[in-house]
Structure 1
Amino acid sequence: MPGKDRLFDSLLDDEAFAAVLADVTRAVGARSFLGGFTNLDGSVSMLVSSGFWPDGLIEAYYGGYCDSDPWTARLLSDWKPFRAIDTRDLPEREIEGSELCEDLLRPMGDDTRFVTGVAVEDRFGIGSLGIHRGADQRDFSDEEIALIDRVAPDVARAMAIRCRLQGSERAILARDETLHTMRDGIMLLTADGRIRYSNAAAEAFLCDGGLLRSRAGVLVTSNRKADADLRAALARVTETRVGGVRLAGADGSSLDVSLLLLPARAGAARIMLTFAAAPPVGRARLLRELYGLSPTEAAVALLLADGLDPADIAEQRQTSRHTVRAQLRAIALKMECARQIDIVRRIAALPRLGGSGIS
């Protein structure tokens, strides 16, 4: 099975993502795979295929036969997102008697008989990765279903992210929502270290003023040696494509970061930086625990407390002013503040948590 790092590193590349799913398919001895995501309005916004079927058959399937798919009906009857799909109790007569098989698959010479895969869900819709065997193969075993179930959470999240990355504004929002659930810190940087995106774990890490920090939207460290090491690593990865560096803090702490060069796009971030983020401490955690702020809301509130106005916050976080204003309204409601200055005052009154308690 492909590793988690390779899976998420493939999100921005069509061929690489298909290759990873092909490895999942081969690991259980299957013939083919097909993945799709259906939005709440019924539109299909993502397709990934092993190439086993011609494009015309796939278009016909999603155009009029998806609702008559017996395997999909079985999946929906016992919906378990982020888990393996198990359709082994589906009677053969239901499969062969379905409109999908009688009118599309069998006339096209397709003998798909056994299906497993992964169920996918996010707040914009549902989808699945179907993994198939033909009638000349046996059904999937308990061990093979269990193997898929072990990688299902990561595959499902990757598919949801991949789907949203292919769109525009809604894709960006969904990517944020999904990446914010991940425990590792993830940032997208330009070659000179300017932060274009950071997930919740990375935002909490930056806000707590530890080894990694944001200064005017640029990623910096807490000391000159670590900063020089980070700049050198960013320069190297433009040549090596992958890399990493251990950053050392003046207090003896250290942080291992991984770097990946992304495909070149005009004006876009070029480097993905990831690290194992420690549980958030300090003001960000207090805001979450005391007032129920989300990681994103806590980050916005702290930027406001640090003197940035909504326009500056929007620029630093690479989002719209409208989004920031909406976030500030939600923050004020949760913190029971009538004005932005009240938010700033409450944050200024928070104690700072250090590694051994309140400092």
Structure 2
Amino acid sequence: MINLSKMSDLSSPEGFALDLYAAVLEGRSLADAVAPLARALETSTHAVHLMQYEAGELRESRCDGGGLAADVTAEYEGHWIHHDPWALAASRAGEGVVNLGRVVPMEAYRKAAIWRDWKAKRDGAFHCLSALMQGPDGTVGRIAFHRSVRAQAFGTAEEALLAPLFPHLRRALVAEARLSAGGWQTARAMRAGFAALPQGVVLMDRQRRIVLTNPAIEAMARRGDGLALAPEGGLATRDPEARQALARAVGSAVAAISGKVKMMPDAASVALPRPDHAAPYLVQALPLKRVEAPGMPEGFCGVMLMVSDDTIRPRPRAPLLRQAFGLTPAEASLAAALAAGRTPAQHAATRKIALETVHAQLAGVRRKTGCRRLTDLMALLGRFAA
């Protein structure tokens, strides 16, 4: 029920709107600026969310809470938002005032992990009334007002109070999103940088929950031949000894973040066996202490797992080999093919040339590299990366 005695906190819609715009322009907390509205709605907490979606997938989120502890907003922003039925509903609901209790049935919400495993233990937000904004660049803005499970659900009276203020709330969210645009761009740049790495990358917060992965580690996990992605701990392996070593490595990195250890022990490097007896995956656990890099959450502390797969090491390319050994273009092409595992006959068939021609080119490669035997040549080519 609306608290009429606190309606005076809003003064006039125009004055309330001006304070919203001033908060954005001055860099003040938008969550603080909507506090008078939260008091009139008799909420337990409220929050301002900006969410950035790419191809329908939530990539980045920012949360500014009113009445919420900093560790709670950080935990929500870093993990639970990805498992929140309200956030999913907000991304699909369009713009306007939305009573999420009508969109996500209460019984379904009680069964969701975010309520069962997190909120219920703290008597967290159970009812939610939101003002939603959808941006053309995949940005979703949400000013959410919450009530606890013991309070009355939001109804038509609260929706009616919010409706005339929605245009102002929307403009404030749009302005906030535009000011954050540079942050979204740097975050995308960071992901692109990780995506370019041949090594697998798993970035975790200090609670050991995955924050980011790159395509290389996702491809390794899909192969299912020695490692898998785990929501907590970053990586999983079926080998008991390797599993314990990996847990020790991550634990050492977390301890290093807190200053409990000064140097990383040898356990920070772990080999994960593969069932086909191929070379194991090599994992390094690296502590990240208050990283202030573009695209990273402010003051981020966490652990990065770097995973190498020696079976897919990059092979040398023809231009590099030509420059290194003074080869002709044809000789360099043959050398690159040999380094990639092809035989002289296969190279001849691919290039549609006679096998005798390939043997003549191979003789030139051996002479210029100083390798009399083919095994020596292969060992030499293996030292070069693309």
Interval of TM-score (by shorter of Structure 1 and Structure 2) = 0.3 to 0.5
The structure with more radius of gyration: 2
TM-score by length of 1: 0.42
Specify which structure has the bigger relative contact order, considering alpha-carbon pairs within 8 angstroms and separated by 6 or more residues: 1
TM-score by length of 2: 0.39
